[in-house]
A and B are shown apart, each in its own frame.
Chain A
Amino acid sequence: MKILGKLTILLCGVLLMVFAMEFPDWGDPESPASTHLSPYFIQHTLEDTAVPNIVTSVLADYRGYDTMFETTVILTAGLACFLLLRIERKKVHHRYYRHVPTGVSLRMEGDKFPKNSAVFQRMDANWVPYDFIISRTCRLIIPFIQIFALYVVAHGHHSPGGGFQGGVLMGASVILFAISHNLRAAIKSFSEKTAALFSVTGVFIYAGTGALCLIFGEVFLNYSALAPLFGNDRVMARSHGILMVEIGVAVAVTAVMIWIYYNLSSAGKQDEGL
C-alpha cells in the first residue's frame, strides 16, 4: 500500500508540475484570472455598494446567496457534531467537591449537594487546580480579544475583516476561557443551549435580511430595497444591508465554533473537558 501510494503521489506530482509550468507567472498582472472578471468588481464596487473593501462587497452582496448557504453549512456542521457525539450524562453515584477557602476535597454520595454554591466547587476525578498565571493572564486577555472581534466585524467595510473572521475570534475567546479554566466553567457562562440558539439566530438574521427585502418589494437579498428603513439612498442601503448580514454570519460562526469545541473536547459528555 505504501509503495502504491508513493507511486501515485509521484505520478500526480510530476503531471501537475509539468502542466503548472504552462500557467502564468506568479504575480503576472496580465494573467487570465486577473483580466476577465475581476476588473469589473474592482471598478464598480464603490459605485454599486459604497463599500471600499471589495472582498466584503463581493462576499455579502454580489455573491450573497453563496455566503448564506456557507453559513448554513457551518450550522449543519455544528448540528452534525452535536448529533454524532452528544450523549446523556450517566447517573453518577458520587461527586467530588472542593471547599474553596480551605482547599479540602470532599467525596459526596448521591447528587443531593447544592449545585451552585460559592464555597464549594465541583471537581473532576483527574482535577488539577487552575494554574494561577494562565487563568489570570487569560482573564486579562479575553476582553481585548472580544473587543478586537467586534472591531473586525464592524470595520469589515473599510479594512480586512468581516463576519467570518470576527466570529472565529469571538469563538476563540470563549474557547480560550474553556482551556484556561475548565469546560464546566465555560458552559456556566455560555451554555450549550445559548450556543445552539445563537447559531440558528445567525442564519436567521442573514435569511431574515433577505426576506425583509422581499417585504419591501424587491428580490431576495437586494439590500437597496431597505433604503426607506435606513433613511438613506439606495447605494448606501446596500452598505448597511451588508453590515446586517455580516453580523448574522458573525453570530452563527461564534456559536458554532464554541458548540463544536464543547462536543469535541468532552467527546459529547460536556462534563469533564480538556
Chain B
Amino acid sequence: MESIFSLVIAKANYVAYIILMMVGLYAMIAKNNLIKKIVGMSIFQTAIILFYVSIGCKRGATIPILEHHAPPEGVAHGAEKVVAHAMDAIRVADYINPLPHVLMLTAIVVGVATLGVALALAIKVYKTYGTLEEDEINQQLRSG
C-alpha cells in the first residue's frame, strides 16, 4: 500500500494532468450545452499544457535563463561581451528543460485565439437556431 502511495506521490504531475484531462474530455463528450463543451475543450488544453510544462521540470534547477553578469566598462563590444561574462561553465543540470516551455508558450496564445473562434461559432449557432442545447439543434435539423 505504501509503495503505491509513494509511487503516486513521485508521479503526482501525471495524476493531476490525467484527472484534469478526463474532466475536460467528459465535458466534451457528455455535456449537451455547446458553451460547456467549449469550457471542456479549454480544460483539456490546460491539462496538456500542465503535462508538457511538468515534463520540463528538473529537481534543483532554475528557470531557463542563463546567468550572466553586467560586463565591466571598456571591454570588447557585441556578442563577445555577453558570452565572455556568462557563468564560466554552463551546467545543464542547473537549468530546467526549455523546450516544453517554448512549445506551450505559443500553444497558450494560439489556444486563446482558437477559443475565440469557437465562441464566435457558438454565437453564430445561437443566432441561427435560437438555442445552444445540442439535442434541440439536432431536433430542428431533423424536422427542418
Contact = CB atoms under 8 A, between A and B. Distances in A.
Contacts, number: 191
Nearest to B10: A25
Interface string B116-144: 11011101100100000000000000000
Contacts of B101: 55
A196 interface: no
Contacts of B78: 50, 232-233, 235-236
Contacts of B116: 77-78, 81, 260, 264
Interface stretch (A30-38, A114-122, A126-134, A135-143): A30-38
Interface string B78-105: 1110110010001011011111111001
Does more than half of chain B's interface fall in helix, strand or loop, or is it mixed? helix
Interface string A229-253: 0001111100100000000000001
B82 to A, nearest CB: 5
Contacts of B99: 33, 37-38, 41, 58
A254 to B, nearest CB: 11
Given A34-B56, A59-B105, A236-B79, A1 B64 contact: no
B11 A21 contact: yes
Given A25-B11, A33-B56, A239-B79, A43 B112 contact: no
Interface of A: 1-2, 4-6, 8-9, 12-13, 16-17, 20-21, 23, 25-29, 31, 33-34, 37-39, 41-43, 45-47, 50, 52-55, 58-59, 63, 66-67, 70, 73-74, 77-78, 80-81, 84-85, 158-160, 162, 164-165, 167-168, 232-236, 239, 253, 256-257, 260, 263-264, 267-268
